Structure 1
């Protein structure tokens, strides 16, 4: 039995879909898969030019733009049909697209908390559909993305180089926010990520008869569009370091951090994982009041 890292952690020959793959963590994941042997990695997003720029700047021979809207069932089915026509199967779907959603009013450092009236007025100024839209992208789209590609994932169980013990898989990018009770965080974002984590656990159970696995990545703070303002507030931008009381690793996550976790789940190394949650946060969740 070959126990080398090269044998355990490669993803040779797989076909993958990464939603929200044009920027941030999604692009990090796509690059990790392409760099380690994936045959084709489709990156999904609404902005075609962003997808094309990402592919051209990284692995244009294996990363393929797939423009579409994960909140539209019609668009998801169209994307699945294109992949079916071009390749005929999928081994891995990474449901990664996400939005932050509205934030509550909170006090600045050293100031008293807002009055109840101020807190309510700020929250009620956000229309209900804006709150619900956070769930549409972060949770509902994960479910329907999986549904749209299930038959291609089923086909992927009979095609590929990963071996009989490796089964097709859906990985959802959730967040440590789904476990955190941090004051001032987005109620919409955190609760939608908690819902996504539980959704994937339910799907892992429901898809057992079809031999399709479901797992979760729960990242902490990585340099993305979603976390930019947060990083600027608590991490000195000139050094990139964080107080260990905020992040014990004293830094934000990086490409190798998310790449390693992704390759573990996506490769033979993680073939025995189903319904698992991998937290990649430098220890931050342990510093928070949380439900993990």
Structure 2
């Protein structure tokens, strides 16, 4: 009986039933895994990406919750477009109380390359400006309507490190960490929590080049204490924790999901 009571309390802490989560970059990789994790915790999903989200919709709806998908390129997002996206997310089963700013891009190359200027603009725009505009539209609506809410920004180990040949990406992810902390301070009195997840090196298309270079892959694995590449599903627990009441007293924080990379 005691074990049943403990299990019930745990389900209450981590349950997202009756909530809707807006997840950007949800078609594949980290965004897909996070959307499925939130759905498993009971949340309906509003998914946004430029890619095909048919597999995601089926996987989420097979769990017994609703998944709506909207195709959109979030690069160059305007304030009006951000407001429109939040309005769309709020028209589902319930108003959105969870925002996962996952959509992003990385461009690799020396800062002195001719293409660096355009890469800088593109990466800073999608990885930093878009999360800011969506967070502002999302929080503004939630505050006006008196809803508590959770925003989860997708940082990186490059939120703390410079990396190599990723100056625009490192700048954007450092900026996103600062934005997370600043908005957490600003919106805490209104019940809006803002946190971040900092993934390490994951088995996604963004790390294909690293993993296919045997020498580089070996060097990278040698400094990951857990001794393996992460997989998108490794983010599930952190995402559900930050979205749920289990983290009711957590804001302005970043959870590293990096196999111990940053501890070395």
**Deviations 1:79-128 (CA, angstroms, capped at 9, x unpaired):** 22223334562110000111012322xxxxxxxxxxxxxxx7xx232151
Q: Shift in Å at residue 243 of structure 1?
A: 6.6
In structure 1, the partner of 2:186 is 206
1:24 pairs with 26, 29, 33, which one?
29
Query: Is the CA contact (8 Å cut-off) linking 1:84 and 1:152 kept in structure 2?
Result: no
In structure 1, the partner of 2:14 is 9
Equivalent pairs, count: 255
TM normalised by structure 2 equals: 0.86
In structure 2, the partner of 1:260 is 237
More helix as a share of residues: 2
Query: Is the CA contact (8 Å cut-off) linking 1:88 and 1:155 kept in structure 2?
Result: no
Alignment CA distance shift 1:179-1:243 (3 Å):
closer
* Structure 1 residues 101-112: aligned runs within 5 Å: 101-104=107-110
Could you list the runs of 4 or more consecutive aligned residues of structure 1 that deviate by over 6 angstroms after TM superposition?
A: none
2:161 pairs with 176, 180, 192, which one?
180
Alignment CA distance shift 1:277-1:234 (3 Å):
farther
Flag structure 1 segments of 5+ consecutive residues without an equivalent.
Answer: 105-119, 159-166, 288-292
CA RMSD of the aligned region, Å?
Answer: 2.5
* Structure 1 residues 4-153: aligned runs within 5 Å: 4=7, 5-38=10-43, 40-47=44-51, 50-59=52-61, 61-71=65-75, 72-73=77-78, 74-87=80-93, 89-104=95-110, 123-153=112-142
State the structure with more CA Rg: 1
Alignment CA distance shift 1:126-1:168 (3 Å):
same
In structure 2, the partner of 1:112 is none
TM normalised by structure 1 equals: 0.79
Q: Distance in 2 between matches of 1:234 and 1:138?
A: 29
